């Protein structure tokens, strides 16, 4: 199956990526958002348009061969294969991904999309297909087991993320620095611009690949988040298809295998069976 990839090389600079994303965001008035996106429509078009993060190892990134890959990317490829269509990947960021979906530029988002109440109000989630713990990672010599220890610390977070909202609400006395994406946030920690960052637990491995073991540590867990594929609210039929597909992939072992391959751990045995209501909301796993 031929894959149409918008991000072709690991050499793509930040300016080019921002320009590309800016170009996408300039199109909302041209997008067709009047019709629900159905399985039939996707098959007739013969292309599944998916929004993915392209600089978020191991969820979505360009490898040394120039191939876009990662857990979310390969999950989308499995969906496209099941549909019998090609796949077109559209780069998105945490800041613009929902807008990209709502303006009709993509059919679905598989972009490290944690299921939260505010997001459930604007998009329709499939049943979760992954779990992703939100954590805080800091310098090894930094004492930080909770909000009380962050007074006076420089805390970096990706803008608009659960970590951003949590540290803001905590009123911990920390100096909060917000960045446009996860890569910038991680770089700020490594370079010493901040003392601790909010991130997905998978960032710990990425940091150690650059700095070596022992310089930074996971300090405490914020919560366990369940990721789902997001579609437009009028795409109920497509969401039901995704629910059935994910259920089959769990039962036949393909999804747990894919998660183990890319995330390096076993997938949660307690994945909720719906992306709606209260069941898949973040849960505190520190208690």
| 10 pLDDT tier (thresholds 50, 70, 90) | very low
Are residues 215 and 235 both part of a single domain?
Answer: no
Mean pLDDT along residues 156-160: 91
Q: Name, in order, each residue with C-beta under 8 angstroms of 168's C-beta and a sequence gap of 6 or more.
A: 176
Indicate the burial class of 174 (C-beta count within 10 angstroms; 0-12, 13-18, 19 or more). Answer: buried
Does residue 287 fall inside a structural domain?
no
Are residues 164 and 214 both part of a single domain?
Answer: yes
User: What's the pLDDT tens digit per position in 17-63?
Assistant: 333 333 333 333 334 443 458 999 999 999 999 999 998 899 999 99
Are residues 110 and 11 both part of a single domain?
Answer: yes
Does residue 82 fall inside a structural domain?
yes
Please report, for residues 58, 74, 95, 200, the alpha-carbon distance to residue 85 in angstroms, rounded to integers and kept in the order given. 24, 14, 28, 31
Mean pLDDT along residues 192-219: 94
- Other Cβ atoms within 10 Å of 208 Cβ, number: 14
53-62, 124-133, 157-166: least confident range:
157-166
Are residues 8 and 118 both part of a single domain?
Answer: yes
**Residue pointed to by tokens 């497509």:** 238
Range of the domain at 120: 3-129+228-263
- Give the span between the Cα atoms of 190 and 216, in whole angstroms: 9
User: What's the pLDDT tens digit per position in 56-95?
Assistant: 899 999 999 999 999 999 999 999 999 999 999 999 988 8
Are residues 114 and 170 both part of a single domain?
Answer: no
Q: What pTM did the predictor assign?
A: 0.76
User: What's the pLDDT tens digit per position in 167-182?
Assistant: 999 988 999 999 988 8
Are residues 67 and 205 both part of a single domain?
Answer: no
DSSP 89-128: EEE--TTTHHHHHHTTS-SEE-SS-B--HHHHTTSEE-S-
Are residues 111 and 161 both part of a single domain?
Answer: no
Does residue 278 fall inside a structural domain?
no
User: What's the pLDDT tens digit per position in 228-277?
Assistant: 999 999 999 999 999 999 999 999 999 999 999 999 999 988 899 999 98
Are residues 140 and 218 both part of a single domain?
Answer: yes
Does residue 28 fall inside a structural domain?
yes
Number of domains composing the chain: 2
Does residue 283 fall inside a structural domain?
no
Indicate the burial class of 192 (C-beta count within 10 angstroms; 0-12, 13-18, 19 or more). Answer: exposed
Are residues 30 and 115 both part of a single domain?
Answer: yes
Are residues 151 and 11 both part of a single domain?
Answer: no
| 7 pLDDT tier (thresholds 50, 70, 90) | very low
| 279 pLDDT tier (thresholds 50, 70, 90) | low
Instruction: List % helix, strand, coil for the chain (3-state, nearest 5).
Output: 35, 25, 40
Long-range contacts of 143-152 (CB under 8 A, 24+ apart): 144/196, 144/219, 144/220, 145/219, 145/220, 146/220, 147/172, 148/172, 150/174, 150/196
For the chain, the maximum distance between any two Cα atoms, rounded to a whole number of angstroms, is 57
pLDDT at 227: 96
Look up the CATH number of the domain holding residue 28: 3.40.190.10
Q: Name, in order, each residue with C-beta under 8 angstroms of 287's C-beta and a sequence gap of 6 or more.
A: none
Are residues 99 and 56 both part of a single domain?
Answer: yes
Does residue 220 fall inside a structural domain?
yes
| 280 pLDDT tier (thresholds 50, 70, 90) | low
- Give the span between the Cα atoms of 195 and 189, in whole angstroms: 6
- Other Cβ atoms within 10 Å of 194 Cβ, number: 23
pLDDT at 270: 86
Please report, for residues 75, 158, 171, 172, the alpha-carbon distance to residue 178 in angstroms, rounded to integers and kept in the order given. 30, 6, 15, 16
pLDDT at 208: 94
Q: Please report the beta strands in 45-186, taking only residues with DSSP state E, as ranges in sequence order.
A: 47-52, 55-56, 60-62, 68-69, 86-91, 108-109, 124-125, 130-139, 154-158, 175-179
Does residue 232 fall inside a structural domain?
yes
Are residues 38 and 122 both part of a single domain?
Answer: yes
Does residue 282 fall inside a structural domain?
no
Decide if pLDDT at 145 tops 80.
yes
| 284 pLDDT tier (thresholds 50, 70, 90) | low
| 224 pLDDT tier (thresholds 50, 70, 90) | confident
């Amino acid at each position: 199956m031929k894959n149409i990839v918008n991000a072709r090389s690991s050499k793509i600079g930040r300016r080019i990526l921002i320009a590309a994303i800016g170009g996408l965001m300039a199109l909302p008035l041209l997008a067709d958002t009047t019709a629900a996106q159905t399985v039939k429509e996707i098959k007739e078009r013969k292309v599944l348009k998916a929004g993915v993060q392209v600089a978020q190892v191991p969820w979505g990134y360009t490898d040394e061969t120039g191939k876009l890959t990662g857990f979310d990317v390969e999950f989308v490829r499995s969906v496209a294969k099941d549909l019998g269509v090609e796949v077109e990947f559209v780069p998105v960021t945490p800041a613009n991904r929902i807008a990209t979906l709502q303006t009709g530029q993509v059919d679905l988002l598989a972009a490290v999309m944690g299921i939260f109440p505010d997001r459930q109000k604007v998009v329709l989630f499939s049943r979760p297909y992954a779990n992703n713990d939100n954590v805080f990672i800091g310098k090894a010599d930094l004492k930080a087991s909770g909000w009380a220890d962050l007074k006076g610390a420089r805390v970096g977070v990706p803008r608009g993320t659960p970590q951003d909202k949590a540290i803001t609400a905590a009123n911990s006395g920390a100096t909060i620095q917000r960045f446009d994406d996860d890569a910038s946030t991680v770089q700020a920690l490594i370079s010493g611009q901040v003392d601790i960052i909010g991130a997905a637990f998978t960032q710990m491995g990425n940091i150690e690949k650059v700095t070596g073991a022992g310089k930074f540590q996971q300090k405490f867990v914020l919560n366990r988040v369940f990721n789902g594929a997001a579609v437009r609210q009028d795409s109920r039929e497509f969401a039901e298809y995704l629910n059935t597909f994910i259920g089959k992939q769990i039962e036949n072992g393909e999804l747990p295998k894919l998660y183990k391959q890319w995330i390096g751990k076993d997938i949660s045995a307690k994945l909720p069976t719906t992306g709606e209501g209260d069941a898949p909301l973040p849960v505190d796993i520190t208690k």
